[in-house]
Structure 1
Amino acid sequence: MNYPKILEEHRIQRLQPKSGTLRIVMDTDTFNEIDDQFAVVYALQSPERLQVEAFYAAPFFNDLSTSPKDGMEKSYRELHKILDLMNRTEIPVYPGSERYLPGPETPVESEAARNLIERALASSPEDPLYVVAIGAITNVASAILMNPSIINNIVVVWLGGHALHWQDTREFNLEQDIHAARVILDSGVPLVLIPCHGAASNLKTTLAEIEAYVKDSGVVGKYLYETYRNCHPDHFAYSRIIWDISTIAYLVNDQHTPSVLISSPVLSDDARWSVDNYRHFIRYVTHVERDPIFRDLFLKIKP
Structure 2
Amino acid sequence: MTTRYPGLTDSFRLERLHHPGGKVRMVLDTDTYNEIDDQFAVIFALGSPERLKIEALCAAPFHNERSDGPEDGMVKSYEELQRIVRIAGAAGRIPIYEGSRGWMAGPDRPVESEAARRIVELALASPDDDPLYVVAIGAITNVASAILMEPRIIGKIVVVWLGGHAPWWDHTREFNMIQDVHASRVVLDCGVPLVLVPCMGVASHLLTTKAEIDLHLGECGAIGRYLAETYAACSDDHYAYSRVIWDISTIGWLLDERSVPCRIVHSPILNEGGTYSFDQGRHLIKMAQHVRRDAVFRSLFDRVRKLAGQAKGQSE
Q: For the superposition of Structure 1 and Structure 2, which TM-score range results when normalised by the shorter chain?
A: over 0.9
Say if 2:210 is the partner of 1:222.
Answer: no
Say if 2:296 is the partner of 1:293.
Answer: yes
Deviation digits for residues 86-117 of structure 1 (CA, Å, limit 9, x no counterpart): 11111000000000100000000000000000
Decide whether the 8 Å contact of 1:43 with 1:50 is kept in 2: yes
Counterpart Cα distance in 2 of 1:142 and 1:254: 28
For the residue of structure 2 that corresponds to 1:97, the secondary structure is coil
Decide whether the 8 Å contact of 1:125 with 1:154 is kept in 2: no
* Aligned residue number for residue 251 of structure 1: 254
For the residue of structure 2 that corresponds to 1:238, the secondary structure is coil
Superposition deviation, residue 296 in structure 1: 1.0
1:13-162 maps to which residues of 2 (within 5 A)? Answer: 13-89=15-91, 90-162=93-165
Superposition deviation, residue 125 in structure 1: 3.4
Superposition deviation, residue 7 in structure 1: 1.5
Which is worse superposed, 149-158 or 123-132? 123-132
Superposition deviation, residue 48 in structure 1: 1.9
Superposition deviation, residue 59 in structure 1: 0.2
For the residue of structure 1 that corresponds to 2:42, the secondary structure is helix
Percent of aligned pairs with the same amino acid: 56
Counterpart Cα distance in 2 of 1:288 and 1:252: 13
TM-score after normalising by structure 1: 0.99
* Aligned residue number for residue 284 of structure 1: 287
1:187-198 maps to which residues of 2 (within 5 A)? Answer: 187-198=190-201
Deviation digits for residues 115-173 of structure 1 (CA, Å, limit 9, x no counterpart): 00000000033100000000000000000001000001000000000000100001000
For the residue of structure 1 that corresponds to 2:236, the secondary structure is coil
Counterpart Cα distance in 2 of 1:288 and 1:119: 30
Superposition deviation, residue 63 in structure 1: 0.3
Counterpart Cα distance in 2 of 1:186 and 1:293: 30
Counterpart Cα distance in 2 of 1:299 and 1:249: 12
Counterpart Cα distance in 2 of 1:192 and 1:57: 20
Say if 2:271 is the partner of 1:268.
Answer: yes
C-alpha RMSD of matched pairs (Å): 0.6
Counterpart Cα distance in 1 of 2:190 and 2:25: 22
* Aligned residue number for residue 313 of structure 2: none
Q: Would you say how many aligned residue pairs link Structure 1 and Structure 2?
A: 303
Decide whether the 8 Å contact of 1:25 with 1:131 is kept in 2: yes
* Aligned residue number for residue 5 of structure 1: 7
TM-score after normalising by structure 2: 0.95
Amino acid corresponding to residue 243 of structure 2 in structure 1: R
For the residue of structure 2 that corresponds to 1:155, the secondary structure is strand
Counterpart Cα distance in 1 of 2:128 and 2:186: 20
Deviation digits for residues 18-46 of structure 1 (CA, Å, limit 9, x no counterpart): 21101111000000010000000000101
Amino acid corresponding to residue 127 of structure 1 in structure 2: D
For the residue of structure 2 that corresponds to 1:174, the secondary structure is helix
* Aligned residue number for residue 175 of structure 1: 178
For the residue of structure 2 that corresponds to 1:56, the secondary structure is strand
Decide whether the 8 Å contact of 1:14 with 1:125 is kept in 2: no
List alignment gaps of at least 5 residues for structure 2.
310-316
Amino acid corresponding to residue 196 of structure 2 in structure 1: L
